[in-house]
Structure 1
Amino acid sequence: MGNCCKVFAARWLWLRPALALLLVGGSAWGRSVAAAEVSLVTGGKPRATIVLSDKPTSAAQLAAFELRHFVEKISGARLPIVREPNRVQGTVILVGESRRSRALGVERKGLAPQEYVVRTHEDGLLLMGHDGRQFDPVVYESYSSLYKAVSGPIGTCYAVHSFLENQLGVKWYLPSESLGAVVPRSPDIAVKELAIRRRPDVPVRSVYPLFANTERLGFNQWDKPQEFQSSWVNARTSLLYWIRNRFWGGLRHNANHSFSYFDKAFGESHPEWFSTKSFARMQQLNYQSEVQPCLAAEGFREQVISVARDYFSGRPEPFPGAYRGTAGGFFSVMPNDNTNMCGCADCRRQYRPRSGADGTASHYVWNFVNEVAREVRKTHPRAMISNCAYFNYTAPPTGLVLEPNVAVEFCKFYTYYSDRKAQARDHRRIAEFVNKNRVRFFTTWEYLLKPHMNEWAFPCMVPHVHAEDVRELRRIGGFRGGKLQFLYMGTYTGSKPNGGVAQVSPVLDFMNLYWRMKLYDDSSFDVDRGLDDYYRLFFGPAAVAMKAFYSAIENRWMTLGGGQDSRTWWNRLGTRDFLAGLERLVEQAREATVERTLYRQRVDVVDQGILQHMLKSRARYETSSIAEAAPIATAGVARTPEKVPAETWHGDATWAASPVQYITRTLKNEPVDQKTAFQLAWDDSRLYIRARCDEPRISSIKATTRDRDVGGFSDDSIELFIDPTGLGTTFYQFCITSRGVVYDARETPRAIGATGDVTWNSAIKARTTIGKRSWELRAALPLDRLGGQKPRPGSTWRFNLCRNRFAETGRPPFSAWSPSPAGFRDPGQFGLITFNGAADRGDLVWNCDFGGSAFGG
């Protein structure tokens, strides 16, 4: 069995530990806990010595440096560090495993992974945890040395940092020791009797990316990304921030797109293993975003199993990138980052269209994962096979019992949790994976990077949502933590990108990221108490004003239902009056603090990183033409002649009575360079669409898409959106390229993961022609494919017709008939179309309240 399996052994059976174990007798701990206070510093003079083993682990060396560093910052006293067998006088602080710790009955082999001990003894204090077997000397000032030191388990660091935080009062709120850390000051340090033995509540605690904007802590120049300088990113400070908050050194785990290099390894020799079924065709597409492996192809599953066994046996990669997505005892089996599942007959038989957009491919994908897990477990019993519940395989697969070595990572979006039903739905889905599919190990991928601040968004800062969420997840058996992904950007050296990425605005992420870290360490953590401590310790005399500031932003998002687009962010949430109130609170905080003090500087960080971001975003919105865009467009749909011959439906006569509508504005509400004209008509069986796209650069039309349901969104194309109910809960999307290639999908916008079900077939007929200065689309859509919502004269539906234009580079490519500043797929911005009777000739236009009791049917 490979080393990775040995390291992983039994770790996934993670039992919740007690938060603190108060010991009275000796038993496994040796002598009883000392009753008197343990003095570390008196009158600013050291009374204690830090003692390491004669051969300390790298984690213990770092822990000793950290303990000395912060004790000195608190008291001014610099504690000496010595190694056994040196004798010392005074209080003895044992850091890491040593002969003396073993004499106390505490040794590494008796500690579970990530477990640590904080305990007083008759001579002093023991700070020790389960460390990896890394013994290299640590250079405290060196990032590379620290990174190597914490490449494995770091239980002794957990012990020291827990002690510093919970006993001595040090807090690491933001990744900056000068501004982000709270360090109390006292010439005396003494601790009372302690007997704590615990480990973090969940074993998987990881972040992406590692590096952070440590020097500025905030950023609001989203229109100038080149201003984000690499000099603002201190690698050592970034790493220490995660270590100090016990969010480093967790169980090595990953679940991510795993077939990223299979095209290079097998595309030419096995084209049948891919959805394109042609190596030449695959080379014309973006493999990760447009192509999928064919999970039903003969030999493909066996190849994946072979790669997994190579990994768990510790063999070299059989081809470059073969182990993409692996970590520790986990081998990821996850499709590419798109929903273009293979369309071959063998694959289609495994799809479940009735499961909804987020479950269409669940049986198909999870059954494949299950088969791989079953076979790999025969040769490597402790090997775990991981996958994300994502896109169109988010929903639990009905009737499938997963192997005990299948690990599920559920992708979650906290921004939707202003709707409690959305949060309950996520928890219900996860519970189904556990209770019905029998998943024993599940994690979550938390997308804390949303809403994207670089889109000038209203910030979603909801610590109470995270507290409730983690508590609910803990109630579901098998929760093991997961990944926190926050907003990051590429860094620049001067005006040139240097290839690095870093968290761009820690102050914007803080209210979601920090408290979730605390809750993963201790799910019983009292967030309200933690918030009060934060306001008091971090802002001092400005605590009241800053609490009101943060609370106002959280309450605004939760009470008004959040938002996903600029109009919602700044017309409903971030109104002028609301922002004026925030400005007053920040001014009160300034007035309460003294210039140049830490408290004032911290208020300034919040001002620049949060308030100024909001003010700039609001001002940008007000001065943009988006704010002045008409709410929605309206049009009538003319009735066709009594009978439209099936053979000549595309003739001009079909639209003879139809008024002409025009697309004249881009998504940014600016005039289009080239107009788009269209007409709509209907009869009892079909909706007919005719669109003409002006295009003087006809020879430059982009038309690379060849396959149905792959997309076409990056080609010159027309997109159609139809919502017969008008409620926005389900609608139908089409993308038809200048070549006539069709993408059609039934959309469920509030679904978890993938919202589009591409297995739905509209049976639309499409014809395109390309002229000298324009191209034209004519289409006939069967009405009986639209959920049984057949219209009658006077019926009003929601509809939009949009254009993607790529023939002219450097020009805005997206335009829409009904203004849709947040993007085409916003059902709230679809226009209104009214189906006319024969006598109306397309002139009848109604405005309907789709939520009213009079509408429907």
Structure 2
Amino acid sequence: MTVNSICRFCIFTGATLWLLCSSILMASDKIEIVKDKTPMADIIIMENAPGSIRLAAKELQEYIKKISGAELTVGDKENSGKKYHIYVGESPFTKKLNFSTTDLKIDGFKILSGNNWLILAGRDYLGKPIFFPPGNNSREAQKDLLKKWQNFAGEKWNFSSLVSYKFYNKELDLGTTGETGTLFAVYDFLEMLGVRWYMPYEDGTVVPEMKDIHIAENLNIRKEPVFELRDFTFIYPHEDKEGLLWYKRLKLGRPYIFWCCHSINLVTQFQKETHPEYFATINGKLDLDGCKGFGRPRLGSPELKQAMIKYAQMFFKAYPEQQFFSVFPPDSFSMMCEKDVAAGMETPERGNRGKMSDYIWGFVNDVAKEIEKSNPGKYVTCGAYSGAFLPPLKIDKLNKNVSVTLCRTLIDGWNPESLKERKDVVEEWLKKISSGSFYIWDYYLYHRDKDMPGVPVVFLKLMQDEARELAGKCKGKFIEATRSQGKIAYPGLNHLTYYIQSKLYWDVNLDMNKLLDEYCEKFHGPAKDEMKKFFTTAEEIWMRPEARKISKVGGFLKKEDVKKYFEILDAALKKAGENNVYARRISMIKKECRPMKEFFDKLERTGGNIKAMHISEKPAINGILDEKAWNENVITYKMKTVDKSKQPENETIVKLRWLMPARGLLIGVECKDRNMKNIKAQNNKKDSSDIFKDDVIEIYLETQNVSYYKIVINPNGAVYDECTGYGEGGLDWDSKAEVAITRNEDSWYAEIFIPLSSMKGNVPSEAYPWGINICRTSSGEKETELSAICPTGKKQFLDLQKMGNMFLK
């Protein structure tokens, strides 16, 4: 019996499935597990078995009963009244049969049978439940652990809660971390019998009915995952037992503790007064509040580097069993210390995804070199993320103990340019890595975005292409997925994607069409054809090379698509019949799609009318705003705070003109500021994301053809412009804006001309207006203030629905 033959068997359906099942599991030389609904075998586990093996035995027992009605006994001794025995996990009994799992790779398992026995066993973690640091099993415990860590280290450092109580379920005595090969062997065997765990929670499982369960005496199956680490963060196991069971039934897992997350802040967080040299200087001041309040580290600081090395050494001294130590800047680390910039540590020519690569990876590499000396065999990890997404140029090869996690998103693969870049970046990183330790961190967070409510997101071919691309190159993949109150969000819409991704972790060469056919037949029964049409249609729509931002003027999803989705689902419900499991499953999907029905109606802009008075003579663009164009026959718009809770501390007045004939938009902005001496204006570079740390004016425009253009201007006159419309260039788009800035004691002024020739669209009219919002970020005396001419009702500027309708007057 080969692994491949089992894999082929598993994806056939109907009569073919039964014939294959019969030839494999009901051979003439057979082991009888159940005969005519009567148990013929028992289940044997080791004495004092750990939680995962006890669960494996219980799952086997319960599902055999669901399939046949027969309940097999579970114990650590053979039942002399039973002719046949099922050994779950290694034990003295399997040892007598010369069975071993030592030759298996991580999380691997074997399914073997002989004269009167069946072994379902794999590599297992046999110790106590894994928490890290040890004892991290409650909120209260975390406080005590911090004190103990600081006493041990002799430094006021924070610690990382790598495996907390949230990732362990007490009732199951099981967490997401640790090898569970035996549990996977049981689930694989149950899948051989026809069980499918397509979806979590109620109605998610398919269980066949059989009065007899026989298996061949010569089974010899060995399976190992293609990827060691196979993780989804779609649950908090401590409060979602069923979600954790589904996670394991899909053969997902974190076989070992892998630490690669934001960590440099662990050294700096409590050191703002004692070690100011650890922190970056921005606008002439130490940035102690940046990076979400942790303070912005200065990676060019020799003192910080030494502190990081010492932290790593103390970490491995405290926890010598650990293999990985993370040296990863805090989140929102998008600006460098101005002293390090002056020293030439930045590479701005590489753009926003590479300008900090040599800066960050140089720091990581230096720490790794010292750890190689003091702690040989240990790895130093970091994520290729944000400004360090691209590989460094000044480092030919990373030190042999550096592990890289590439943070990217597969769902952007609908864009051919993004798809090519994603593949190219993997190959570039592999040339830099000496350790062979390479991982992927992905983001399946599409349903977290309110701009995509109820939209089916299906990209099965992309998933398989990526799995094949990474096989043999990548050790594992983390997928950050949307949760809802600690549980899996939108299980009806997301279950198929998660299910197939989990299968690809073990076999990258699955026949996807047969797998989808089997799913539709088993899970949707009489409505199998309609539901296959639903998912294939969803994949076609998602893979359209158009912007993900759905607006009045564009985006991958069209109003007619929504109608089509519901027509397919209604037809499927009709085929499914009433009051049965198939109807309930389809109804769940339809319910989760329901917000899509109202989405296009909600795209009508609610920001009111914004009138641009036309002129025929262009004023001098000098930032003074004293010409006739700005003072005669012009409408004034005053900004309000974005949440409308109060009047802005710093008043902002906006005036709009349209230069005829069809030449472009003129914008004049007066920004009053009570704190002009401390105005934030550091950036002087074109298209630098650093501009968002300054006081800025942000202009959002949606023409009749493109959604949307964004132009950002700071008090230095620096410009950041981009277009999110598909194929419009992104950050490469050039608004060709003419910008002039002036300042006085209590205000700064911006005069802007944006030529129509730089955009796609017609002159805005009352019948075909443009969407517009003009917004301001200002540093108030107490807090940063956000204001806009069309308030969004939340602390952010981008909301296409809240835009105003701009037209000529």
Residues 254, 482 of structure 1: alpha-carbon distance in 2 compared, 3 angstrom cutoff: farther
Residues 779, 581 of structure 1: alpha-carbon distance in 2 compared, 3 angstrom cutoff: closer
- Which runs of 5 or more residues in structure 2 are unaligned? 8-26, 130-167, 660-664, 684-688, 761-769
Question: Equivalent residue for 2:686?
Answer: none
Distance across 1 between alignment mates of 2:796 and 2:64: 52
Question: Equivalent residue for 2:20?
Answer: none
| Aligned equivalent of 1:470, options 467, 470, 482 | 467
* 1:260 aligns to 2:265 (yes or no): yes
Distance across 2 between alignment mates of 1:121 and 1:72: 23
Q: CA deviation at 1:209?
A: 3.9
SS at match of 1:313: helix
* 1:38 aligns to 2:31 (yes or no): yes
Distance across 1 between alignment mates of 2:365 and 2:492: 41
| Aligned equivalent of 2:450, options 446, 449, 454 | 454
SS at match of 2:475: strand
Question: Equivalent residue for 1:388?
Answer: 383
Question: Equivalent residue for 2:328?
Answer: 334
Question: Equivalent residue for 1:598?
Answer: 581
SS at match of 2:520: helix
* 1:481 aligns to 2:459 (yes or no): no
Is the Cα–Cα contact under 8 Å of residues 670 and 750 in structure 2 kept in the other structure? no
Q: CA deviation at 1:392?
A: 1.4
Is the Cα–Cα contact under 8 Å of residues 637 and 658 in structure 1 kept in the other structure? no
Question: Equivalent residue for 1:852?
Answer: none
Q: CA deviation at 1:340?
A: 3.3
| Aligned equivalent of 1:309, options 307, 313, 331 | 313
Q: CA deviation at 1:310?
A: 1.6
Question: Equivalent residue for 1:183?
Answer: 207
Is the Cα–Cα contact under 8 Å of residues 544 and 556 in structure 2 kept in the other structure? no
* 1:246 aligns to 2:251 (yes or no): yes
Q: CA deviation at 1:667?
A: 12
| Aligned equivalent of 1:300, options 284, 287, 304 | 304
Equivalent AA in structure 1 for residue 697 of structure 2: I
Is the Cα–Cα contact under 8 Å of residues 448 and 513 in structure 1 kept in the other structure? no
Q: CA deviation at 1:373?
A: 1.6
Is the Cα–Cα contact under 8 Å of residues 271 and 278 in structure 1 kept in the other structure? no
Distance across 2 between alignment mates of 1:409 and 1:209: 20
Per-residue CA deviation, residues 772-823 of structure 1 (Å, 9 max, x unaligned), is: xxxx432489x9xxxxxxx9x9965689872237889999944479xxx996
Moved more, 528-537 or 587-596: 587-596
Question: Equivalent residue for 1:352?
Answer: 347
Distance across 2 between alignment mates of 1:711 and 1:546: 47
Q: CA deviation at 1:415?
A: 3.1
Is the Cα–Cα contact under 8 Å of residues 235 and 483 in structure 2 kept in the other structure? no
* 1:115 aligns to 2:102 (yes or no): no
| Aligned equivalent of 1:584, options 567, 585, 590 | 567
Is the Cα–Cα contact under 8 Å of residues 107 and 180 in structure 2 kept in the other structure? yes
Question: Equivalent residue for 1:200?
Answer: 225
| Aligned equivalent of 1:804, options 760, 776, 783 | 776
Q: How does 1:382-531 map to 2 (within 5 A)?
A: 382-400=377-395, 401-438=397-434, 440-450=436-446, 452-457=448-453, 458-474=455-471, 477-489=472-484, 491=485, 501-531=486-516
| Aligned equivalent of 2:697, options 718, 733, 736 | 718
Distance across 2 between alignment mates of 1:748 and 1:421: 15
Equivalent AA in structure 2 for residue 537 of structure 1: K
Per-residue CA deviation, residues 644-696 of structure 1 (Å, 9 max, x unaligned), is: 7xxxx7473697799857558999999x99983247899xxxx9974125x8x
SS at match of 1:559: coil
Is the Cα–Cα contact under 8 Å of residues 39 and 72 in structure 2 kept in the other structure? yes
Per-residue CA deviation, residues 82-106 of structure 1 (Å, 9 max, x unaligned), is: 2136645211111111122122222
SS at match of 1:56: coil
Distance across 2 between alignment mates of 1:114 and 1:40: 26
Q: How does 1:638-717 map to 2 (within 5 A)?
A: 639=618, 650=624, 652=626, 660=634, 676-678=653-655, 690-692=668-670, 706=680, 708-709=682-683, 717=696
Q: CA deviation at 1:600?
A: 1.1
Q: CA deviation at 1:154?
A: 1.1
Is the Cα–Cα contact under 8 Å of residues 609 and 805 in structure 2 kept in the other structure? no
RMSD over aligned Cα atoms: 4.7
SS at match of 2:682: coil
Instruction: Give TM-score, length-normalised by structure 2.
Output: 0.76
Question: Equivalent residue for 1:153?
Answer: 179
* 1:540 aligns to 2:525 (yes or no): yes
Equivalent AA in structure 1 for residue 325 of structure 2: F
Per-residue CA deviation, residues 695-730 of structure 1 (Å, 9 max, x unaligned), is: 8xx87x99997462497869975225899xx9999x
- Which runs of 5 or more residues in structure 1 are unaligned? 1-16, 23-33, 137-141, 213-232, 317-326, 492-500, 784-790, 834-842, 846-857
Distance across 2 between alignment mates of 1:750 and 1:480: 35
Equivalent AA in structure 2 for residue 479 of structure 1: C
Q: CA deviation at 1:156?
A: 0.7
Is the Cα–Cα contact under 8 Å of residues 716 and 805 in structure 1 kept in the other structure? yes
* 1:734 aligns to 2:712 (yes or no): yes
Tell me the number of residue pairs that the alignment of Structure 1 and Structure 2 aligns.
708
Equivalent AA in structure 2 for residue 240 of structure 1: L
Distance across 1 between alignment mates of 2:50 and 2:456: 42
Distance across 2 between alignment mates of 1:369 and 1:382: 16
Distance across 1 between alignment mates of 2:68 and 2:346: 65
Per-residue CA deviation, residues 606-648 of structure 1 (Å, 9 max, x unaligned), is: 11112x13113334335x637x989x9897796556x97xxxx
Q: CA deviation at 1:554?
A: 1.6
Q: CA deviation at 1:160?
A: 0.8
Question: Equivalent residue for 1:616?
Answer: 598
Is the Cα–Cα contact under 8 Å of residues 637 and 680 in structure 1 kept in the other structure? no
Residues 198, 662 of structure 1: alpha-carbon distance in 2 compared, 3 angstrom cutoff: farther
Distance across 2 between alignment mates of 1:290 and 1:764: 35
Distance across 1 between alignment mates of 2:391 and 2:223: 34
Residues 565, 122 of structure 1: alpha-carbon distance in 2 compared, 3 angstrom cutoff: same
SS at match of 2:598: helix
| Aligned equivalent of 2:606, options 625, 633, 646 | 625
Question: Equivalent residue for 1:67?
Answer: 60
Is the Cα–Cα contact under 8 Å of residues 51 and 173 in structure 2 kept in the other structure? no
Q: CA deviation at 1:743?
A: 6.9
Distance across 2 between alignment mates of 1:128 and 1:331: 32
Distance across 2 between alignment mates of 1:451 and 1:383: 38
Identity of aligned residues (%): 22
Residues 442, 778 of structure 1: alpha-carbon distance in 2 compared, 3 angstrom cutoff: same
Per-residue CA deviation, residues 287-320 of structure 1 (Å, 9 max, x unaligned), is: 437953111112111111111122222259xxxx
Equivalent AA in structure 2 for residue 374 of structure 1: K
Is the Cα–Cα contact under 8 Å of residues 433 and 439 in structure 1 kept in the other structure? no
Distance across 1 between alignment mates of 2:189 and 2:612: 62
Q: CA deviation at 1:357?
A: 2.0
Equivalent AA in structure 2 for residue 341 of structure 1: M
